Structure 1
Amino acid sequence: MDEHAEERDAGVAVVGSAAPMVEVADLHRSFGSGAGQVHALRGVSFTARRGELTALRGRSGSGKTTLLNLVGGLDRPSSGTIRVDGHDLSELGEEGLLALRRDRIGFVFQSFGLIPILSAAENVGVPMRLRRTPAREREERVHELLALVGLADHADQRPGELSGGQQQRVAIARALANQPSLIIADEPTGQLDSDTGRAIMQLLRAVVRSEGVTALVATHDPNLMELADRVLDLRDGQIVA
């Protein structure tokens, strides 16, 4: 499978689509110093192809969230290299990382992260407002995305009026707002029951297909592994399979 996301100029240079979307090489991340130093990642290397859903499996404390934060440009590694969509993150300053996160990466979190006072439609529209997308284009994209995640009839409801599964669907729609090349999802089913969690994972699978994006999804649920194109087992900060 080699579906390609739409290439566009979005604050960072566009590169050829032949390279993997994500390339991680010998990544280390430590916190603290001396006797209290914690080695969260120990020499992690992997690639994620374009149009692929890669699942990161591991128990709490295995390093999944640390790895996703590094790939998403939310943290800096102690050593090693990360390339996202052809860009070496170590060569990007704060403004470059901000542009990358805003324009090329969509985030989905376990706690949904929706703004309580905004409607579902308004939450989905937030990333486009930050990018100063024209109002009519923004409204059309919001409508399209809410329909994609099956919530077209819930556009005016606030998060408190939605179920957990519906809130996560809104979060996925929001992550897709600026047509990212990469979606990073950290335990997106962690607060959901098993049936709803499977439905959310199936939705992510469908989104990867329909939007042509790459997805990195951290989960500890073995029942969701069959929906991924590839599974990476993370244990004690290392990929073991």
Structure 2
Amino acid sequence: MSDPLVVVEGVRKVYRNGPNEVVALKEVSFQAFPGELIAVRGRSGSGKTTLLNQVGGLDRPDAGRVVVAGQEVTAMPEDGLLALRRDVIGFVFQSFGLIPVLSAAENVGVPMRLAKLPAAERDRRTAMLLALVGLERHANQRPYELSGGQQQRVAIARSLANRPRLLIADEPTGQLDSQTGRQIMELLRALVRTENVTALVATHDPSLMTLADRVLEMHDGTLTTPQPATT
């Protein structure tokens, strides 16, 4: 077996509001391997988003450590985290996060502009990614001209722009109907295979669990024993 791409060891996160404390994560540990799609399941408030934020370097734990692609995220300075999020990790959010005034193609190209890729290479990869998610005919449309499912496909294409090794998706089907949500999850499943990325997908939808290689259960900040996905 190959080395894990993600290593989470004893991660603890506490949020404080005056004298009150909420323990969001309680000594969470797991590993994720290359080419694996892992679903993180749990009710709202169970700690799913907090866990993904630690792995993606969007937040820092109070204890424990996170390693992604051999780099210790929890020990990185801010400029290192920016580089990690730009070059190694792709993010997909429930809210799509597209820029309204830009076309689908321009939205996909934003990360490559920030990475200063030459225009010709950027255009080629944008076209390839839109084709990969089935939107090559919608390249010039703006987000308001697209359905919710199409907008999420654009967001997924954008997340792959800089060839990330890890894809983090936080409730990517949360704003979609069940059929469209399953199509998005099936797309993520296919992209894990074709792009050879590792994916961590937070969801509360039990119907999507069958598409994951493994399911991690979150309950009150605690991660239960990882279980194989039901087929």
TM-score, normalisation: structure 1: 0.92
Match among 218, 235, 240 for residue 202 of structure 2: 218
Residue 172 of structure 1: SS of its match in structure 2?
helix
In structure 2, what residue type is equivalent to 1:108? V
Q: Number of matched residues?
A: 225
CA shift for structure 1 position 240: 1.8
Tell me, in whole angstroms, the C-alpha distance in 2 between the residues paired with 1:191 and 1:171: 13
- The answer to whether residue 161 in structure 2 is matched with residue 177 in structure 1 is yes
* 1:202 aligned residue: 186
Unaligned runs of 5+ in 2: 226-231
* 1:88 aligned residue: 72
Q: Is the 8 A contact 2:41 2:216 kept in 1?
A: yes
- The answer to whether residue 135 in structure 2 is matched with residue 151 in structure 1 is yes
Tell me, in whole angstroms, the C-alpha distance in 2 between the residues paired with 1:161 and 1:182: 29
* 1:105 aligned residue: 89
Alignment RMSD (CA, Å)? 0.9
CA shift for structure 1 position 19: 1.9
* 1:79 aligned residue: 63
Q: Is the 8 A contact 2:57 2:74 kept in 1?
A: no
In structure 2, what residue type is equivalent to 1:89? V
Tell me, in whole angstroms, the C-alpha distance in 2 between the residues paired with 1:43 and 1:173: 34
% identity of equivalent residues: 67
Unaligned runs of 5+ in 1: 3-17
Q: Which moved more, 1:35-44 or 1:132-141?
A: 35-44
**Runs of 4+ more than 3 Å apart:** none
Tell me, in whole angstroms, the C-alpha distance in 2 between the residues paired with 1:77 and 1:178: 27
Q: How does 1:37-48 map to 2 (within 5 A)?
A: 37-48=21-32
In structure 2, what residue type is equivalent to 1:73? G
Q: How does 1:25-40 map to 2 (within 5 A)?
A: 25-32=9-16, 35-40=19-24
**Over residues 125-169 of structure 1, what are the superposed CA-to-partner deviations in whole Å (9 max), with x where a residue is unaligned?**
000000000000000000000000000000000000000000000
* 1:237 aligned residue: 221
CA shift for structure 1 position 21: 0.7
Q: Is the 8 A contact 1:19 1:86 kept in 2?
A: no
Residue 19 of structure 1: SS of its match in structure 2?
coil
TM-score, normalisation: structure 2: 0.96
